Structure 1
């Protein structure tokens, strides 16, 4: 079958890498893609949130399956758009409906869902500009640090963790006054949970589910988890502290009630549930839901899955996910992100990347790259992800760092301490 992947980052290159290995994939397209996807698929100059253009292309290219990488098209309702068009409804589109995507599209909705199904999470309240003073009063009832979350999508930048009460009150006002645009018209304030984070990925057809390999990513730009938040500077899979006891708690207390909630609310959900978790004194709590795979976690999770990804997606679409097993590579996988100098603030693009052909011990996933004549140049903040396997995460990381030393572009930066908190 012909398959289309929507998106342009490292996550989408990883999807392309796995789907291209499937015997069921005849022709693979990525829209808009990057220099890496161009090597294994046909890139299409297409905006993933231009649903009419995506639909016309799907019909023109005889697309039978669409894999939606980023959250924006899902929250904006691409699944509903296809399902409600007689010409498109049989295309197997992997992702939740707009109602399902609200679990990521609205922090308030996610919190209400967790409360409804007794899913453990931090205590919270949500506020609008009209209830600003009530929000400030609520902050006074909490212990520092204070967690403020924009209700809507803010490109991964809508969460603030603040140590001082007066600063938290000021930032609450700034957010409700439009600091993150429409995304922060409403703000969720929640108690701070002190623990260690991990991510659990679930593939579900709305009633059956498969728990995929765990991962832990590293968001801060600086070593020792300091500095500004980024889209992610690296990841490790599996998570060493996610033992059978913890995973049992996660499945029973979080995964099962989440899927049950989708069923009870009759939400059309055929895709990924990415559960951001924190382990506090041995107990798991949900920080947030995402309704797609994470990036850079995809770069360590998918390479470990041996099962044909297209088979998995077909069974998901059909509602028969219980009829297939997920086989996982026992080796550890790690990825290290190479980013542009200045990221996550201002940075320059168009820097020539050298050394790509020298990499033989890692998989290179392109994130922010494009072709410029015969050269490959930077086109984003996160540029390349270097994924390696090893008997444990330390061996895998050693390979990723050896590969990083072979690559070069102007002002290239990467964290040298991925996994620092696991030993």
Structure 2
């Protein structure tokens, strides 16, 4: 089977690493990929997000299955494009259609979906220019901190958590005036939920699903969960507090009603669902849906997964998951992300990366590129070291030991990934 993975981050490298191990994989391509993915597949440069260029690459390389890594092409309707093109009728694609991708692409769509199907989540109000005064009144009734979310995709930067009511009212107005561009034409005000966040993943074929290993990721740039939010500084799987009681609640109260809602709303959803959850005194609630795998959770989750990833992805794309079960290692996996100096603010690219040849654990590239014989930084989140152990401490110490061997100008990473779970 010839496979094309769309994307070029750490998530896609981890996916490619796992899929390349399948006996069913003949040729593996990535578009665009990065300096790490070229070790497990062939990178196709210069395709970008243009659907016609992706179509040409699919036909030129006799692709049987396309796996969509990032959210943007899904929200833009790439699955609908494939299904509507007669030349692509024999090509399977893994990902939700445009309507279903609104579970990630629109916060208000997701919240109304959760409300309709009685899926536990925070209280909320959708606000636009026409009901701004209602938004102010809703804020005035709430207790701090105040949560404001841009309705659309904002590259992980569209959420504000504020302690001061005057600042919250001011920021609500600024968001509606375009602080996050088109993404904040509408804003969702949410009740703040106090608890421990974690992530659960399912692979859905439109009607049946399998549940993948859970993970906990770390968003803040600074140790002790301080500083600005990032795309993710590390992850751990499994999560110690995710016991059998909490698992049952997540499946019966969240996963099953979500899949039921997808079916009833006549969405075409064949792909991964990321449930961003919070444990509030033993009760799980949904913070957000993502319509794809997370990053850097994927790096930890796929290292634990024992299934043939290509087999389950192919079956999901065909609507044939019935009877399948996921299998995963009981070991703990820890992923630590190395980022560019200045990230998540301004940073420079093109810094030479040294020490990669000496690493004894897995390295998943994200923002990297090859320049001649050098591998250089090419993004904010540069790469991640992922290590397995019998305990969190063992996995964490192994990842730390190896990431310390990697050098580039301005390198920064957290040394406390997983410490809060010990």
Query: What interval of TM-score do these two structures reach, taking the shorter chain for normalisation?
Result: over 0.9
> 1:350-400 deviations in whole A, cap 9, x for unaligned?
11000001001x100001000011010000000011000000121100000
> 1:384-420 deviations in whole A, cap 9, x for unaligned?
1100000012110000000011110001000111112
Following superposition, the deviation at residue 80 of structure 1 comes to 0.3
Instruction: Say which SS state the counterpart of residue 136 (structure 2) adopts.
Output: helix
Partner of 1:422: 421
Partner of 2:27: 27
What does residue range 170-185 of structure 1 map to in structure 2 within 5 Å? 170-185=170-185
What does residue range 303-318 of structure 1 map to in structure 2 within 5 Å? 303-318=303-318
Partner of 1:279: 279
Partner of 1:301: 301
What does residue range 189-228 of structure 1 map to in structure 2 within 5 Å? 189-228=189-228
Partner of 1:373: 372
2-side partners of 1:368 and 1:287: how far apart? 27
> 1:137-178 deviations in whole A, cap 9, x for unaligned?
110010000000000000011010000000001111111000
> 1:280-331 deviations in whole A, cap 9, x for unaligned?
0110000000000000000000111111111101211221212322221111
Q: Which segments of structure 1 move beyond 3 Å, counting only runs of 4 or more? A: none
State whether residues 12 and 33 of structure 2, in contact with CA within 8 Å, keep that contact through their aligned partners in structure 1: yes
2-side partners of 1:350 and 1:276: how far apart? 33
Instruction: Say which SS state the counterpart of residue 314 (structure 2) adopts.
Output: helix
Partner of 2:396: 397
Instruction: Say which SS state the counterpart of residue 344 (structure 2) adopts.
Output: coil
Structure 2 unaligned residues grouped into runs of 5+:
none
Instruction: Say which SS state the counterpart of residue 256 (structure 2) adopts.
Output: helix
2-side partners of 1:334 and 1:91: how far apart? 35
2-side partners of 1:419 and 1:249: how far apart? 24
Following superposition, the deviation at residue 48 of structure 1 comes to 4.6
State whether residues 97 and 269 of structure 1, in contact with CA within 8 Å, keep that contact through their aligned partners in structure 2: yes
TM-score (norm 1): 0.99
Partner of 1:158: 158
Following superposition, the deviation at residue 130 of structure 1 comes to 2.4
1-side partners of 2:22 and 2:234: how far apart? 27
Q: Tell me if 1:343 matches 2:343.
A: yes
2-side partners of 1:393 and 1:112: how far apart? 37
State whether residues 210 and 324 of structure 2, in contact with CA within 8 Å, keep that contact through their aligned partners in structure 1: no
State whether residues 128 and 187 of structure 1, in contact with CA within 8 Å, keep that contact through their aligned partners in structure 2: yes
CA RMSD of aligned residues (A): 0.8
Structure 1 unaligned residues grouped into runs of 5+:
none
Partner of 1:386: 385
Partner of 1:413: 412
2-side partners of 1:389 and 1:134: how far apart? 50
1-side partners of 2:292 and 2:411: how far apart? 28
Partner of 1:354: 354
Partner of 2:147: 147
Instruction: Say which SS state the counterpart of residue 233 (structure 1) adopts.
Output: strand
2-side partners of 1:46 and 1:90: how far apart? 24
> 1:53-80 deviations in whole A, cap 9, x for unaligned?
0011101110010110000000000000
2-side partners of 1:120 and 1:249: how far apart? 10
2-side partners of 1:12 and 1:199: how far apart? 18
Partner of 1:266: 266
2-side partners of 1:48 and 1:139: how far apart? 41
Partner of 2:330: 330
Instruction: Say which SS state the counterpart of residue 335 (structure 2) adopts.
Output: strand
2-side partners of 1:181 and 1:46: how far apart? 27
